[in-house]
Amino acid sequence: MYSQGLIGADGRTEESPEFLEAFQRRIDAEEKIEPKDPMPAGYRRTLVRQIGQHAHSEIVGMLPEGNWITRAPTLKRKAALLAKVQDEGGHGLYLYAAAETLGVSREEMTEELLAGKAKYSSIFNYPTLSWADIGAIGWLVDGAAIMNQIPLCRCSYGPYSRAMIRICKEESFHQRQGYEIMLTLCRGTPEQKAMAQDALNRWWWPSLMMFGPHDKDSAHTEQSMKWKIKRFTNDQLRQKFIDATVPQAEFLGLTIPDPELRWNPDKNDGRGGYDHGPIDWDEFWRVVKGHGRMNRDRLAARRKAHDEGAWVREAALAHARKRKARAMAAE
């Protein structure tokens, strides 16, 4: 997973007009920008921030689903969930590596996360309260992530776009797996179906918020689109997600928790699409600013792992140094 509409990116840049024009010509020609290429400072800063937020989201995203690994209901589900959460860790690893090509280290990015300065996708500040949440996250959260990320496979920055191609394949597998969990629950006992509906009720709106603020309130979208870091606006992606997801919910026999949701034949240039009710942006900003149910717990868990692992990392370094010294002494 999981880029959320980028928050707080600052694309301001101070290069000469000639430099910026030359850069823009490369972008417009769909050339990939590679790590050693000249690039505007604002482009670099926007990417560092976006890739960093994305990497942190993968890592923090391991926690809510990790919460059910030890309680997965069958051995097959246990193995699949463990593999999925492991994939998310792998995504974090590729993305940190992609960000490192822009001159920022994983350690620095981790410090920012642990200090509470770096953002990650707010969806992970909601708790997983039942097994159905594992289905709902795969279906909706990985599903929303795919909508966000497929265009990123064509992002102008080479290392990011290549990381995304690899990641998107795994995300679509996660999405199908999550949907299949929901389908099994919906065809199960009434209690299981109620569990699935409850999960949809809790995850639907936060999933829509994953695409970020409405375009009219999204300050930095325009520059990111011009640089082809972003290819679609937040609202365009959100609409695609809703249009794809509503029929899937119908197939499950579940109700989307939005009384204003209606098919509108005039939407999407006459191809039709769904109108939806208002998104509670107060809630969104409250959670982004650290006041969701799980914000503190998520950071505390990351800090605990980091602090309790310090002796291991130090020992590995110390041992490597000693080995080198011993090898040199033996020569």
Q: Which residues bind another protein (CB under 8 A)?
A: 59, 62-63, 66, 69-79, 82-83, 85-86, 89-90, 92-93, 96, 131, 184-185, 188-189, 191-192, 301, 304-305, 308-319, 322
Among another protein, Fe ion, none, what does residue 269 contact (CB within 5–8 Å per kind)? none
Residue among 38 and 188 whose Cβ is closer to another protein:
188
Question: Could you tell me the smallest distance in angstroms from the CB atom of residue 320 to another protein?
Answer: 8
Dihedral over Cα of 119, 235, 215, 228: its sign:
positive
Q: What's at 22, amino acid-wise? A: A
- Looking at the DSSP bridge assignments, the partners of residue 273 are 264
Residues 99, 103, 107, 113, CA torsion sign: negative
Handedness of CA 251, 255, 258, 259 (dihedral sign): positive
Among positions 142, 179, 245, 294, the unique one binding Fe ion when judged by CB under 5 A: 142
* 54 sits near Fe ion (criterion: CB under 5 A): no
- Rounded Cα distance between 47 and 50, Å, is 5
Contact indicator for 72, 81 with CB cutoff of 8 Å: yes
In the bound complex, what is the minimum distance in angstroms from residue 137's beta carbon to another protein?
14
Q: Is 74 left (phi over 0), alpha (psi -120 to 50) or beta?
A: beta
Binding Fe ion (rule: CB under 5 A), the pick from 171, 179, 195, 200 is 171
Cα–Cα distance, 275 to 267 (Å, whole number): 8
Residue type, 185: L
CA–CA gap between residue 123 and residue 294 (Å, rounded):
10
Strands of 142-221, DSSP E: none
Q: Which does 73 bind (CB under 5 to 8 A by kind): Fe ion, another protein, none?
A: another protein
Binding-site partner at residue 76 among Fe ion, another protein, none, CB < 5 to 8 Å by type:
another protein
In sequence order, the β-bridge partners of residue 157 are 33
**Choice from 65, 88, 100, 133 touching Fe ion (CB under 5 A):** 88
Q: In terms of CB distance, is 23 or 131 closer to Fe ion?
A: 131
CB of 218 to Fe ion, least distance (A): 23
Q: How many chain residues are in contact with Fe ion, going by CB under 5 A?
A: 7
Residue 263 β-bridge partners? 274
* Nearest to Fe ion of 133, 258 (CB atom): 133
| Shortest Å, Cβ 65 to another protein | 8
Give 310 or 328: the residue with its C-beta nearer to another protein.
310
Instruction: Give CA–CA dist 25/206, Å, rounded.
Output: 38
Tell me: does residue 238 bind Fe ion (CB under 5 A). no
Residue 305's binding partner, choosing from another protein, Fe ion, none, with beta-carbon cut-off 5 to 8 A by kind? Answer: another protein
Nearest to Fe ion of 39, 81 (CB atom): 81
Q: Determine the residue type at 47.
A: L
Nearest distance, CB of residue 4 and Fe ion, angstroms: 13
CB nearer to another protein: give 73 or 116.
Answer: 73
- Residue 191: name its binding partner from Fe ion, another protein, none (Cβ under 5 to 8 Å by kind): another protein
* DSSP string covering 280-320: -HHHHHHIIIIISTTHHHHHHHHHHHHHHTHHHHHHHHHHH
**Piece of the chain touching Fe ion by CB under 5 A; list 83-91, 149-157, 239-247, 249-257:** 83-91
Residue 302 makes contact with Fe ion by CB under 5 A: no
Select from Fe ion, another protein, none the partner in contact with residue 222, using the beta carbon and a kind-dependent cut-off of 5 to 8 Å: none
**Which helix (DSSP H) or strand (DSSP E) does residue 206 occupy?**
helix 190-209
Sign of CA dihedral 101, 103, 105, 110: negative
Q: Which residues bind Fe ion (CB under 5 A)?
A: 1, 58, 88, 91, 142, 171, 174
